[in-house]
Amino acid sequence: MGLLGFFSSDIGIDLGTANTVVYVKGKGILVRNPSVIAVDAESQSVIAVGEKAKRLGGRQPSNIVVRYPLRDGVITDLDIAYKLLQQVLEQAQIHRSLFPPRLVMAVPNGATTIEQRALQDIAEQAGAKEVVIIDEAIAAAIGSGLPIDKPLGNMIVDIGGGTTEVAVLSLCGVLSSQSLRVAGAKMDDVIHQSLKRDYDFLVGGQTAQSIKHQLGSAHENAQWDSDKLEVGGRSLNSGLPKQLTLTGIEVREMLQNEVKLIARTVQQTLEETTPEVVSDIYTNGLMLCGGGALLKGLDMLISRETGVFVHVAPNPLDCVALGIGEMLENRQRWDRVWSHCTSV
């Protein structure tokens, strides 16, 4: 794959629905931004990227458009995704180089050939010399510290913004996997829709996400259920400002279908796995990572439903990028993974 060129930068990118994380070989993670960009509505020139663009959402004047170019882990707006990638590459390269970078990018297991091609196209447009595509679950497993290069069954559950990737791995290969388009963004949408339907209450996407972060949980707990949050929004009937006090138990009930679906997918993946590998997973536990790993009690729910102990990765938001980084820094160890990557 030629990823060890002397002059070009080797860069790993987790271009996710919610966040983009960039790892530069020899330097570590240099960029960690929300995957959002604000552009001028007429000229399409970039106004802001990442956190600055996200803060504009719902507050921007009519001449500025705030865009999220990915949904369910794949690109839905090629032009905006290209602009976003171009911006994060500029942020990652502290000193501009005359030599174009080589990019390693992760995709969900369920991504189609067309969706993978779209990712490769925007990377090339953004100036990449070479683009390598890796399975997101493999990168996440490596980044969370699972010894997937050993003859041992490992299980990773990566709950990102757009997809939940569930995979069983051994000897750098995927034994069984499922990609579920239910993850953090879907949970935000469920909260948003539940407030509209059941409370006559309209909030923006950022407020729905904040409710999930502060009150969301997946398992019964007296403290979590009794937590309260004052939320500001608008009445659907009157159109006037409205305040609402939400409790943890209300938000847990909003999210119960989504978290149960994730737990059921983990269970189904285990059922498709050989008894020997299941025995390894039962002995060592499974690894939970991604932003969804931070939902209170999700590890306990999955453990209750599957009978398997659940570990939460030390840096759950960065596992995919860290996994790509580990592959870049220690290429020889992960040569078997490299051989299965798609390169253009």
pLDDT digits (tens, 9 = 90+) for 239-250: 999 999 999 999
Query: What's the mean pLDDT in 1-24?
Result: 78
Average pLDDT, stretch 141-168? 96
Q: Which residues contact 120 (CB under 8 A, 6 or more apart)?
A: 131, 133, 344
Find the mean pLDDT for residues 139-144: 97
Cβ-based neighbours of 85, under 8 Å, separated by 6 or more: 13, 15, 122, 123, 126
Does residue 2 surpass a pLDDT of 50? no
Residue 287 CB burial class (10 angstroms; 0-12, 13-18, ≥19): buried
- C-alpha to C-alpha distance for 159 and 317, rounded to whole angstroms: 9
Q: Indicate the average pLDDT of the chain.
A: 92
What pLDDT shows up at residue 1?
A: 42
pLDDT of residue 92: 84
- The answer to whether 103 and 133 are in contact (CB under 8 A) is no
List the CATH code of the domain at 10-35+76-139+319-343.
Answer: 3.30.420.40
Beta bridge partners of 131: 103
The CATH number for 144-182+256-317, chosen from 3.30.420.40, 3.30.70.1450, 3.20.20.60, 3.40.50.1370, is 3.30.420.40
> Is residue 217 within 8 Å of 295, Cβ to Cβ?
yes
Per-residue confidence (pLDDT) for residue 66, from 0 to 100:
93
Residue 324 pLDDT level (bands cut at 50, 70, 90): very high
The residue-averaged pLDDT of 311-340 equals: 94
Give the pLDDT confidence score for residue 58 in this predicted structure.
Answer: 82
Q: How sure is the predictor about 97, in pLDDT bands with cuts at 50, 70 and 90?
A: low
Distance separating alpha carbons of residues 251 and 265, to the nearest angstrom: 22
Residue 344 pLDDT class (50, 70, 90 cuts): low
- Over residues 217-240, the mean pLDDT reads 95
Q: What is the pLDDT of residue 94?
A: 52
- How many angstroms from the chain centroid is the CA of residue 239? 34
Q: CATH 3.90.640.10 region(s) of the chain?
A: 184-255
Residue with tokens 């990572």: 289
CATH 3.30.420.40 maps onto the chain at 10-35+76-139+319-343, 144-182+256-317
Determine the pLDDT at residue 200.
95
Q: Are 254 and 225 in contact (CB under 8 A)?
A: no
**124-138, 142-156, 181-195, 253-267: the lowest-pLDDT one:** 124-138
Cβ atoms within 10 Å, residue 239: 9
**CB atoms near residue 243 (< 10 Å):** 9
Per-residue pLDDT band for 11 (boundaries 50, 70, 90) equals: very high
Is domain 184-255 given the CATH code 3.90.640.10 in the classification? yes
Burial of 96 (0-12, 13-18, 19+ CB in 10 A): exposed
| pTM, full prediction | 0.92
Supply the pLDDT for residue 3. 42
* Mean local confidence (pLDDT), 127-137: 91
Mean pLDDT to the nearest integer, 148-155: 96
Query: What residue has token string 């999220």?
Result: 68
* Burial letters 124-135, b for 16+ CB under 10 A, else e: bebebbbbbbbb
What average pLDDT does the segment 291-319 reach?
97
Report CA Rg, the chain: 21
- Which two three-digit tokens encode residue 126? 């953004």
pLDDT for the residue 277: 97
Give the pair of three-digit tokens for residue 208: 């729905």
The pLDDT value recorded for residue 341 is 82
Over range 335-342, report the average pLDDT: 86
The mean pLDDT value for 37-54 works out to 92
> Is the pLDDT at 74 greater than 90, yes or no?
no
Band of the pLDDT at 5, cuts 50, 70, 90? very low
- Mean pLDDT of the region 278-295: 97
Of 318, 219, 324, 337, nearest to 18 (Cα)?
Answer: 318
Ramachandran assignment for 53, one of left (phi > 0), alpha (psi -120 to 50 degrees), beta (any other): alpha
Print burial letters for 19-54: b (CB count within 10 Å at least 16), e (below 16): bbbbbbbeeebbbbbbbbbbbeeeeeebbbbbeebb
Confidence check: pLDDT of 218 > 60: yes
